[in-house]
Structure 1
Amino acid sequence: MKKILIASAALMATASVAAAESGVKFGGYARFGLGYVEDRTGTVENFNTVGGVITSTDTATVDTDNTALISRFRLSIDGFTETDSGVRFEARVRLQADDTPSTGEQQKAGLNGARFSVIYGGLRVDAGNVAGSFDNLDDYFGTEIGLEDFLGQYSGVNYSFLEYTSTGSGANAVFVKYSVGDLSVYGSYDQNTIAVNGGKDSADRWDVGASYTFNDIITASLLYGETDLATGGDESLALFTLGVDMGDFYGTLFLADDDVENDDEDGTAYGFSVAYNVGAATTLELAYGDGSADDDQRFIGVGAIYDLGGGASLRGGVGEIKDGDEDGIIRADLGVRFNF
């Protein structure tokens, strides 16, 4: 379903009996269940000792159980205030604990980098650990399959765009959005160090986009992003999405072209996703993504959500993930998610 900022929903708490325009609110979700990855491998750390004293360490890749316990706890903390003239200021940090995807082992919770926002009318400005234009577009993600949202229509994209980081400090960037009527325009900018062909390079990264909604049903979006590398050259991503939201039915079409340093990942990415409420409590999902480049990933899978009431749901999915010409692997999960 559409990517939802869970943290903006739910419990409200105020630090004191202050004015109604200021306060702190808490919200989030938790999920747990079982996840299956065909031929799952994990990384273990080896300790080399001499006379019982550790002299060095190295890592090794080992086969692990294909089925593992999966989990996530996410709590977003939002502080806000509003001036007499109607300007709203917000700040957010997030506390999150996940399992380790390769082994299923639990990680401890930690706070991420802060995001700061100024909102007035149709204008919103975010600074700090922010999501860029692509990450803010619901129809980029479309319907993601499974309890872990492990499969989506965007699999053929290899460009590294600006993303909100739940477990790290973030890129310390700026995002601006302005909405008037059915039209929204937006853009972001950051200076960052990114991974390129197995190494790292400093870069100026920016993106711009626009979305228009027709009759509250169809949304067309066009986005472009570029990363200018300090060592020369650049990478880019152009994207078009078309989303249809008709209550019980939500569907997206996805078409993109990315230009990255690795020629085997250059090309066209395409996909679609669908979610349909077949009854009062059951939603069926389908997603497919692929690309024309030699090393593009192909995703295809189906999922289901059963509403248990009270903000809780039973969720699961199964699909195939295929990298380039390699054999595909099966991945699946099943578990419970509840909002708070």
Structure 2
Amino acid sequence: MKKVLFASTALIATAGVAAADSGINLSGYGRFGIGYFEDRAGAVTNVNTNVTTTSIVGGAIVQTTGQTTTGTAVVDTDDAILVSRFRLNIDGFTETDGGVRFEARVRLQADENSANGEANNAQLNGARFSVIYGGLRVDAGNVAGSFDNLANYYGNEVGLELFAGQYSGVDYSFLSYVSGSNPGSNAVFFQYAVGDFAFGASYDQVTGALNGSEVDLDRWDVSATYTFNNITAAIAYGQTDLGDIGLDDESLTVLTLGGEWGDFNGTLFVADDDVNNAADEGTAWGLSAAYNLGAATTLLFTYGDGNGDADTQEVAIGAIYDLGGGASLRGGIGTNDCDVCDSRVQADFGAQFNF
């Protein structure tokens, strides 16, 4: 990925001390194409209706027609819409003479409204701050936790929009990096890598409601990763403490395996999902694979499921054709289903270019 570097030496010359290495990196990607989702429907909030009001002004009866908010409605939209994303990562960094690197990132992102196919404005998310030294990394702010950083958690996702993945049967809400206008959790993530081992942990507080008041609830997770030859094994455990609002604690345990063999790579995924909704909890499992056919073409497959009645089963195949220069054509087709919902087909196709 190409990066644009703006040297900051001139900007800090008047400070008297220049860092050994500092600047700003810009990177990201754009994508656009056609997305299809069978029986697509979305919730539209702030539904406005014309309302006529009557008042007396200066002895005369005056009628005024205006708009008022009446609530939320679910509306049907076209199954096939134009899908798009513009993502720009803005990374500021500096490195001390002693080799300690400081970083900060915000992300500017614009996506289509998947409910109605209309365009959305580009928006900034919350900032992430990092300190890196050797194999140690500490993130603060809008961070990704142990699951979001776990090797092979996402596997080989399918589609221009990455609409299908092996993790589809997981319902636990873990700490993740958030894009768009959402500032994300104000949390801390720690990772230390030494040789073939890596260890991670994160902590944040989520807000719950108790008797009409907000309560801060602890959420934490830990992970370990080991790479041997061409195989990577990873395990993570996380928990949200919900006792203060009268619910059982929720937790998630995930084990992943991933490997590469020439033009083929694959992943396996198993999880234990312990949440308060009985229709969602239970065991989740999945797998994914990618095969390089040569001639710049890669085939993808993913499957995810769970034994909960409301767990989503996703099965999809896709392909990527490399155009060179960071550009590619990509797309996929698949289905998603569950024991208590109807099966629906999803597909997309379009172009992506990195910068």
> Offset of 1:295 from its aligned partner?
1.0
Matched, 1:136 2:129: no
Q: 1:120 to 1:255 in 2, by over 3 A?
A: same
Tell me what 2:292 maps to: 277
Question: Residues 1-340 of structure 1 correspond to what in structure 2 (within 5 A)?
Answer: 10-17=3-10, 21-44=21-44, 45-48=46-49, 49-50=51-52, 51-167=64-180, 168-193=182-207, 202-215=216-229, 217-229=230-242, 230-232=244-246, 233-340=248-355
SS in 2 for 1:158: coil
Deviation at 1:247, TM superposition (A): 4.7
Larger radius of gyration: 2
**CA displacement 1:30-50 (0-9 Å, x = unmatched):** 000000000111233431322
Q: Distance in 1 between matches of 2:94 and 2:286?
A: 41
Q: What secondary structure does 1:263 align onto?
A: coil
Query: Which piece of structure 1 moves more, 120-129 or 325-334?
Result: 325-334
Amino acid of the structure 2 residue aligned with 1:301: A
The amino acid across from 1:135 in the alignment is: D
Deviates more, 1:103-112 or 1:299-308: 103-112
Partner of residue 14, structure 2: none
Q: Distance in 1 between matches of 2:163 and 2:114?
A: 11
Q: Is the 1:13–1:26 Cα contact (8 Å) retained in structure 2?
A: no
How many residue pairs end up in the alignment?
Answer: 330
Give distance in 2, aligned partners of 1:14 and 1:249: 40
Write out per-residue CA displacement over residues 140-164 of structure 1, whole angstroms, 9 at most, x where no aligned residue.
0000000000000001100000000
SS at match of 1:153: coil
What SS is found at the alignment partner of 1:149?
coil
Which deviates more from structure 2 when the two are superposed, residues 299-308 or residues 47-56?
Answer: 47-56
Residue number in structure 2 paired with 1:3? none
The answer on whether the counterparts of 1:272 and 1:288 sit within 8 Å (CA) in structure 2 is yes
Distance in 2 between residues matched to 1:139 and 1:333, nearest whole Å? 23
Counterpart amino acid of residue 195 in structure 2: G
d(CA) in 1 for partners of 2:209, 2:92: 33
SS in structure 1 at match of 2:148:
helix
What root-mean-square deviation, in Å, do the aligned CA atoms of Structure 1 and Structure 2 show?
1.8
The SS at the match of 1:124 is: strand
Give the Cα separation in 2 of the matches to 1:144 and 1:89.
Answer: 31
- Flag structure 2 segments of 5+ consecutive residues without an equivalent: 11-17, 53-63
Structure 2 counterpart of 1:128, one-letter code = G
Q: Matched residues, percent identical? A: 60
Q: Tell me the CA shift for residue 248 of structure 1.
A: 2.1
The TM-score normalised by the length of structure 1 is 0.93
Q: Quick one: which amino acid aligns to residue 26 of structure 2?
A: F
CA 1:193 to 1:247, structure 2 compared with 1: closer, same or farther past 3 Å? farther
State how far apart, in whole Å, the 2-side matches of 1:177 and 1:195 are: 32
Query: 3-state DSSP class of the match of 1:141?
Result: coil
Superposed CA deviations along residues 68-103 of structure 1, whole A, max 9, x for unmatched, are 000000000001111111110000001000001121
Q: Which amino acid in the other structure matches residue 42 of structure 1? A: G
Note closer, same or farther for the CA distance 1:119–1:247 as it changes in structure 2 (3 Å cut): farther
Which has the higher mean CA deviation after the structures are superposed, 166-175 or 45-54? 45-54
- Per-residue CA deviations over 1:288-336 (Å, capped at 9, x if unaligned) read 0000111111000100000001000000000001133322100000000
Contact 1:14 1:25 in 2 (8 A): no
Of residues 127-136 and 273-282 in structure 1, the stretch that sits farther from structure 2 once superposed is 273-282
Give the superposition deviation at 1:249: 1.7
Deviation per CA, 1:189-234, whole angstroms, max 9, x where unpaired? Answer: 00112699xxx8642100001000001x100001100000121421
Partner Cα separation in structure 1 for residue 207 and residue 320 of structure 2: 38
